[in-house]
Amino acid sequence: MNERDFKYALQCYKERVDKFLGHYLESLTAIPKTLKDSMEYSLMAGGKRIRPILCIVCYELFTDSIKEILPFACALELIHTYSLIHDDLPAMDDDDFRRGKPTNHKVFGDGIAILAGDALLTDSIRLMLSCNLNKELISKAMEEIIDAVGPRGMVGGQVIDLELTGKNDCSLDELRHMHLLKTGRFIESACVCGAILANSPDSQINNIRKYGKMIGLAFQIADDILDIEGDEKIMGKPSYSDIEKGKCTYPTLLGIEESKRLGWECVNEAISAISIFKSPQAEFLKAVATYIMTRTK
Amino acid sequence: MNERDFKYALQCYKERVDKFLGHYLESLTAIPKTLKDSMEYSLMAGGKRIRPILCIVCYELFTDSIKEILPFACALELIHTYSLIHDDLPAMDDDDFRRGKPTNHKVFGDGIAILAGDALLTDSIRLMLSCNLNKELISKAMEEIIDAVGPRGMVGGQVIDLELTGKNDCSLDELRHMHLLKTGRFIESACVCGAILANSPDSQINNIRKYGKMIGLAFQIADDILDIEGDEKIMGKPSYSDIEKGKCTYPTLLGIEESKRLGWECVNEAISAISIFKSPQAEFLKAVATYIMTRTK
């Protein structure tokens, strides 16, 4: 898939997700205005929608229509947004800017920011449950995602991150484990949920899991590289912000060149894991793997 | 049901819940120690387990065994505990003590406290999904509870509470609406979920909903009265702590006597709503309604 076709397809999927999220926000009529404003502020702050898109396309590998999976896929963006709001709090990473805008707590205060995160996490479950798909499959997919974002996954990873921050020292194994929990498992399970909800066979779910695991790893390596090489204006946050906080990153441990080599190794393994699939959707997923290492924000 | 039999039955149910929660905590092996310690600290801090017990007994109205519903019922205690941890944070109610012990953030810091809350909320979903019951029923019960604790329920109520606090002035309607969202809907849906999971007919679910709504209201009125009349040693927190924060309460709006009259009116309506049920479990539920107004903590 050439870059122009990929960017166009990516934009189309993103628009579907944005439109669904817009409808979701419109449906929130009976909630306090401050809460809705705070949820909307972060949910519509220009995210790339990578997790919902991965979920949708992995579903589309096995089906013709994507309409049924939209609530589930978009629920992943609610979870991602909740995690960003809480991570940015002064009690955690203490970030003032994200995507070029003041962080949620800078605008709404810490209390409302915590509650907006809580509301998004809780409502993500409501969206998942609302899917017009087989209840057994929804339940299986929810088990997958909940394990990935709970204490054994994302939340656990954030605790390890808090504990490692400021030490300026960790092993490659510790760094890999932390990122696997904090970012990797979520991206992996976004892909896997698409395949589960399409009722695809276990052997193919395993291929998709391998793909998701590898792009999850590449995603974090690329993030660490962008923290150094990224353009502040495009990123919407200051360069070296992770390193200045005393966070361990791939470039600080391995150097930039070795980090890039490792990132591309993951991309190639991801592409190879789904080589059995031949559809345009499979080509799109392969292009996503490359995009993850070449993106500028 | 006489008081001695009621207290004994209450203790038996509480022990079942505590035992299940103990097993749940033991099963958390692959998570960071700090996170587990923080979750355990608040989950095992001596809660009354009212929500799980209500859920169990409303299920038992229609069934012989309670084993299958334990994961779902205990998940409600995880949700309740998460909400207490977040509510106690300096950015919210800023409480130093709960149940006679320092609050979670006082022991573990704000960052870990926020994450322990996030972990408990997320894991509550895992517990609900793990129930060995019909997936359609689980899904319906989850929809009920998630609506009650999300932005249209508990989280929304906490936002309104934050906005009203310090104003020292609100109408009875505002107070009632805030408590309905913050406490009432959750207690109501704990009861309703028991009936849903037992696959009971809609007409009977409606009776139980009415019962839950009325005890939810009585519960909050009793809480407000305890804030004034409660024994600090038994309560484990200072008297007048709500009023000193400038919170609106039933006694400040209506006076103690009128608040008690209103509370007992709710108790009687609750008892009357389930008068069609004649089993020992129904008698227990009626005794719970009375207990809610007579409890000392």
Q: Do B123 and A151 touch (CB under 8 A)?
A: yes
Nearest to B188 by CA among B204, B157, B205, B211: B211
- DSSP-derived secondary structure for chain B: --HHHHHHHHHHHHHHHHHHHHHHHHT--SS-HHHHHHHHHHHTS----HHHHHHHHHHHTT-S--GGGHHHHHHHHHHHHHHHHHHHSTTTT--SEETTEE-HHHHH-HHHHHHHHHHHHHHHHHHHHT-SS-HHHHHHHHHHHHHHHSTTTHHHHHHHHHHHTTS----HHHHHHHHIIIIIHHHHHHHHHHHHHTT--HHHHHHHHHHHHHHHHHHHHHHHHHHHHS-HHHHTS-TTHHHHTT---HHHHH-HHHHHHHHHHHHHHHHHHTTT--SHHHHHHHHHHHHHHH---
pLDDT tens sequence for chain A (297 residues): 899 999 999 999 999 999 999 999 999 998 999 999 999 999 999 899 999 999 999 999 999 999 999 999 999 999 999 999 999 999 999 999 998 899 999 999 999 999 999 999 999 999 999 999 999 999 999 999 999 999 999 999 999 999 988 776 789 999 999 999 999 999 999 999 999 999 999 999 999 999 999 999 999 999 999 988 877 777 677 777 777 777 888 998 999 999 999 999 999 999 999 999 999 999 999 999 999 999 877
ipTM above 0.85?
A: yes
Chain B CB within 8 Å of residue A156 CB: yes
Q: Do B111 and A136 touch (CB under 8 A)?
A: no
Q: CA of B30, closest CA in chain A: separation in Å?
A: 6
CB contacts of B30 in chain A (<8 Å) are 152, 156
Chain B CB within 8 Å of residue A43 CB: no
Whether B245 has a pLDDT exceeding 90, the answer reads no
CB contacts of A32 in chain B (<8 Å) are 156, 159-160, 163
Q: What is the number of other CB atoms lying within 10 angstroms of the CB of residue A79?
A: 26
Arithmetic mean of pLDDT over chain B: 94
* Closest Cα in chain B to A133: B136
Q: List C-alpha distances in Å: B264 to A19, B187, B260, B294.
A: 49, 17, 6, 10
When CB atoms are compared, the residue of B114, B136, B147 closest to A135 is: B136
CB contacts of A151 in chain B (<8 Å) are 28, 31, 35-36, 39, 119, 122-123
* Closest Cα in chain A to B123: A150
Cβ-contact B286, B1 below 8 angstroms: yes
Which residues have C-beta within 8 Å of that of residue A52, sequence separation ≥ 6? A13, A17, A73, A74, A76, A77, A190
